[in-house]
Amino acid sequence: MSYLLKSLENCKLTLNNRLIMPPMATSKSDQNGKVSKDILDYYDEKSRGGYISLIIIEHSFITLAGKASERQLSIAEDCTIESLKKLSNIIHRNGSKTVMQINHAGSSTNKEITGLNPVGPSAIINPNSSIVPDELSIKEIKNIILEFKNAARRVKESGFDGVEIHSAHGYLLNQFFSPLTNKRNDKYGGDLLGRIKIHLDIIKAVRDVVGNDFPILLRLGASDNMEGGITIEDSKIAAVAFEKAGVDILDISGGFCRFIIPGNTSQGYFSPLSQSIKEVVAIPVLLTGGITKVEAAESLLASGKADLIGVARAIYKDSKWAQKAIESFK
């Protein structure tokens, strides 16, 4: 039997195959971040037939200060719940499961978008922009933890099958994890365990509000691919800590290098990272990055590079990609 067609069991999030549609920003929400007809139509088209076992909804801002871009989806207020229920219902009706990704942009935004000064763990320039954020106080960090908690509650109340915490692509939690941008000398900085304390606090807060049976995923930027940044050795230690804290699935991507490795166009170019993480944890590991061929997806699973395969741009370009991939094994 094909590895891609195998169900995922022995996990809080059971799946009927190993094919995942990872989060991709669409900029299709309305001006207030609420679900629009365009978003409903988009996810209806992508999920039709249930060939994709899990669809992870694009990153959604937990507070206005953490909004990354115009027309980004919002999970910042209770008034978003009713329209989000329509989104989860459409995907479920089509036969797929769905998880919502929650995020704070930190210094990867600007005042034009939020109306506020960007914030970060330290007043250090963001490597991907010219922005120097305001350094967060302990009180402000505690408030952000609460905002993640409230966002996770809204995700569950909106009918989703799980929640994914975003710590990749240069956003706030990536900024805390990375020694490039976290120069704090308090409990939220310093050594590696200090730099992931905010993650562990968020995981605990989320678990407290969603309960023991609701799946928590975490997207980990496992390497910044920059001198002095996050290394895979850092991420192996972090991954073990996240598993112990209650994360159910780790979704591996890039850090400040975002979702690419410059000059590397191989199928599954983050596979050295996912394989290294898979060697130190027992929970499922999801690999995304440059996978456009079903043969590559099958090979990456067969060789133990990951437990789940995310196909992004190929599905974005061709809504029938998943159907053709699954039916190619029959």
* Domain spans of the chain, in order of start: 19-327
Least confident of 32-36, 98-102, 259-263, 290-294: 259-263
Task: Write down the CATH number for the domain with range 19-327.
Answer: 3.20.20.70
Helix, coil or strand: residue 166:
strand
pLDDT number for residue 262 = 79
- In the residue annotation, 43 being an active-site residue is answered as no
Mean pLDDT confidence for 198-213: 98
* Contact criterion met (CB below 8 Å) for 74 and 33: yes
Assign 29 a pLDDT band (cuts: 50, 70, 90): very high
User: Is the pLDDT confidence value at 260 over 90?
Assistant: no
Q: Of the residues 43, 171, 188, 269, which is catalytic?
A: 171
The whole-angstrom separation of Cα 74 and Cα 285 is 27
pLDDT class for 259, splitting at 50, 70, 90?
Answer: confident
Average pLDDT over residues 299-309: 97
Q: Does the pLDDT of residue 222 top 80, yes or no?
A: yes
Model confidence band, residue 129 (pLDDT cutoffs 50, 70, 90): confident
- DSSP secondary structure letter of residue 80: G
On the question of pLDDT at 261 being above 90, the answer is no
pLDDT band at 144 (very low <50, low <70, confident <90, very high): very high
Is the pLDDT reported for residue 255 higher than 90? no
SS3 call for 101: strand
To the nearest 10°, report the CA torsion of 223, 226, 230, 236: 40
Would the pTM of this model clear 0.85, i.e. be above it? yes
Q: Which of 189, 178, 180 is nearest to 136 (CA)?
A: 189
